[in-house]
Amino acid sequence: MLSETLTLTIDGTEPLTPASVREIDALCDRAEDEPGVALVTLRVTGAPGEGWADGLTTALVTKWERVLRRLERLPAATIAATSGDCGGTALDVFLTADIRFAAPDTRLRVPLHADAAWPGMTAYRLVQQAGAARVRRAVLLGLPIEASDALALGLVDDLAEDPSEAVAATAKQLAGLSGKELAIRRQLLFDATSTSFEDALGPRLAACDRALRQGRQEAAA
């Protein structure tokens, strides 16, 4: 059974600050260091308004992108739920999750800045996950992606009137899942889009060997 679930709440209307980075870093520390943590739930909503980038620096954005990458590679399953407008830091975090639920009124929004869409790693993740042609208007023009379109694009796994209930139900399904093993499968999934068959074969055979050895150990126990 899952011994502990960590929860993170992100308000996308709030500006990115050093505290935002520290909050996710602290959660990642717990997920990586505390035994028994196998699930992280991410509750995100809200999109930034005018002047959202006031006070931002390249150094802060760099730290934010690095901590998001850490969140994306946690040795724990991550489930995200959103509703309404979802943009800025909320969308950044949402797109890192393994499983994503959204309410029917959800709109994914790439924020605008300096007369164009923000060119951060959210745009990169949207293209990687859905394809350049399918998210072109969102990435270039900042046009919102409606919930039904996000579902069709695979950016959302399912729509739910109450995403929190969907998260709770999925958490039960993931009971007993090994966070470390999930992290290995996740990395193999990421690599599949950019690695040749020949380069991918070795790591996948190593993962298969690991799984077989674990199975034999459990059978002998």
* Amino acid in the structure at residue 41: T
pLDDT tens-digit series, residues 55-112: 899 999 999 999 999 999 999 899 999 999 999 999 999 999 999 999 999 999 999 8
Residue 23 scores a pLDDT above 80: yes
Band of residue 3 on the pLDDT scale cut at 50, 70, 90: low
pLDDT tens-digit series, residues 170-190: 888 877 667 777 777 878 787
CA dist 67 and 208 (Å) reads 30
Cα dihedral sign for 33, 89, 189, 198? Answer: negative
pLDDT tens-digit series, residues 35-49: 777 889 999 999 999
Residue 137, judged by CB atoms within 10 A of its CB (0-12, 13-18, 19+), counts as middle
Query: What φ, ψ does residue 175 adopt, rounded to 5°?
Result: -55, 130
**What average pLDDT does the chain have?**
89
CA dist 70 and 143 (Å) reads 28
Residue 20 scores a pLDDT above 60: yes
pTM for the predicted model, two decimal places: 0.87
